[in-house]
Amino acid sequence: MTKTALVIGITGQDGSYLAELLLSKGYEVHGVIRRASLFNTDRLDHLYNDPHDPTTQLMLHYGDLSESTSLRRICDQVQPDEIYNLGAQSHVRVSFMQPEYTADVVAMGTLRMLEVLRDYSAASGKAVRMYQAGSSEMFGASPPPQNEETRFHPRSPYGVSKAAAFWHCVNYREAYGLFIANGILFNHESPRRGETFVSRKITRAAGRIKLGLQEHLYLGNLDARRDWGYAPDSVEAMWLMLQHPEADDFVIATGEDHSVRDFLDKAFEMVGLDWTKYVEIDQRYMRPSEVDHLHGDASKARAALGWAPKVDFDGLVSTMVEHDLVLAEQEKTLKDAGHSITPRGQFADG
Ligand code: NAP
Ligand code: F7E
């Protein structure tokens, strides 16, 4: 029987890979998108068909985590078997500038979704399953390695909001017997990563600098260490969590960590450049309180879900640099034809 999934945050990095995975497994996929003045479905365009085509398996609906009415109506209309809550203001630095908004979407938005889930489960009689996108930012200052037993000590409004969302999910699981799985995912990247996250900022700059389209790369703290994995590996773990017999919480990580400097070394080495000649430190990219060292221990997911990462750090950086070199070549063609090219990733103060 065809399963139906509802993905909140389908236009994001993970949402697009998850939609691909679910469609490949024969799911009917519905996504919640926000109204924007420009189209914001770039990451989905290769999957999307005309909704008037009766065979289409991917449908998009306007809604927002700040409005429970829209979530409720979409749920009632779509009748999902599985709900993936990936929606968030997901940028840590931005969360210091927009703390109330971040808390509203990330923490309150999850609570709104849980209330919808609670009523929809009761009314439909379905054994609905929900995935909540938790984050290693919840561990924050707790020393590595971090696993499911590690104390939360978040260091940003984003991290605090994700921790609140995590506990709301645990509470709804215990109070109402709902199937809700919290993923605690460490950083995961890809060629679809937003361009203001450090990995993509670096790989975009490496390609552009190589082709003479950009002179400098402005960054913040180069000493932070992260457990960087590959986004398609991560979304597979989300799906596995909802196929597990019991709702539980799982750390998803590679078990390897690297500094921002290491990322720069690898990415610039691939394009044959010395990054120290191009990188400048800009205080705008420093955080009022930093998370210094994340290194996850995903043994529980490995044992219970059979999950393991398929792409390592070198493979991840290579995939991103190769992709962004092609993008830079396209930009160069446009520039040579008289169009203006702007490195937007380092415009805003986030
Ligand atoms: P992302 O690229 O920033 O995507 C976030 C998604 O949430 C986008 O589709 C965005 O829509 C949507 N969204 C934002 N505000 C919303 C609102 N008010 N209502 C409904 N949807 C809203 O993030 P990602 O990297 O794919 O991450 C997916 C989820 O995992 C997020 O919850 C993130 O916090 C969490 N997470 C990410 C990582 C990571 O390393 N990537 C690690 C741990 C946890 P627009 O496209 O319209 O902006
Ligand atoms: O920063 C440092 C920065 O913004 C990584 C989100 O997906 O993963 C992500 O959060 C590190 C930090 O990711 C710049 O200070 C240096 O130490 O790429 P990031 P993040 O903050 O780890 C977690 C797991 C999530 O859940 C989040 O949603 O890199 N860094 N210079 C910089 N970071 C940025 N963005 N820009 C810089 O110029």
Q: Which domain holds residue 91?
A: 4-190+228-252
3-state secondary structure of 63: coil
CB of 185 shorter than 6 A to ligand 1 = yes
Each residue's pLDDT, cut to its tens digit, for the chain (350 residues) gives: 899 999 999 999 999 999 999 999 999 999 999 999 998 999 999 998 888 888 899 999 999 999 999 999 999 999 999 999 999 999 999 999 999 999 999 999 999 999 999 999 999 999 999 999 999 999 999 999 999 999 999 999 999 999 999 999 999 999 999 999 999 999 999 999 999 999 999 999 999 999 999 999 999 999 999 999 999 999 999 999 999 999 999 999 999 999 999 999 999 999 999 999 999 999 999 999 999 999 999 999 999 999 999 999 999 999 999 999 999 999 999 999 999 887 776 666 66
* 59 within a domain of the structure (yes/no): yes
* 169 within a domain of the structure (yes/no): yes
Q: Name the residue at shortest CA distance from atom 15 of ligand 2.
A: 221
Catalytic residues: 135, 137, 158
* 267 within a domain of the structure (yes/no): no
Q: How far is CA 224 from CA 230, 257, 287, in A?
A: 19, 10, 11
pLDDT for res 50: 84
Residue 232: which region, alpha, beta or left (left: phi > 0; alpha: psi -120 to 50)?
alpha
Structure tokens at 183: 């993923």
> H/E element holding 165?
helix 157-176
CB of 15 shorter than 6 A to ligand 1 = yes
| Most ligand 2 atoms within 8 A of CB, residue of 137, 195, 198, 291 to mutate | 198
pLDDT for res 85: 99
For residue 302, the 8-state DSSP code is H
| Nearest ligand to residue 224 Cα | 2
To the nearest 10 degrees (0 to 180), the angle between helices 198-210 and 260-270 is 30
The closest alpha carbon to 282, from 343, 348, 340, belongs to 348
* 220 within a domain of the structure (yes/no): no
How deeply is 96 buried, as exposed, middle or buried, from its count of CB atoms within 10 A (0-12, 13-18, 19+)?
middle
CB of 89 shorter than 6 A to ligand 1 = yes
Structural domains in the chain (count): 1
The answer to whether residues 286 and 220 touch, using CB atoms and an 8 Å cutoff, is: yes
Q: Strands 229-230 and 129-135: what pairing?
A: unpaired
The closest alpha carbon to 169, from 229, 112, 103, belongs to 112
pLDDT for res 348: 67
Which CATH number belongs to the domain containing residue 76 in this structure? 3.40.50.720
* 236 within a domain of the structure (yes/no): yes
pLDDT for res 323: 98
CB of 135 shorter than 6 A to ligand 2 = yes
* 106 within a domain of the structure (yes/no): yes
The answer to whether residues 226 and 187 touch, using CB atoms and an 8 Å cutoff, is: yes
The closest alpha carbon to 85, from 24, 148, 31, belongs to 31
CB of 259 shorter than 6 A to ligand 2 = no
| Most ligand 1 atoms within 8 A of CB, residue of 42, 90, 102 to mutate | 90
* 307 within a domain of the structure (yes/no): no
pLDDT for res 347: 66
The closest alpha carbon to 178, from 270, 85, 265, belongs to 85
The closest alpha carbon to 248, from 184, 188, 191, belongs to 184
* 217 within a domain of the structure (yes/no): no
pLDDT for res 1: 83
The atom of ligand 1 lying closest to the CA of 65 is 19
Q: Strands 217-219 and 188-189: what pairing?
A: unpaired
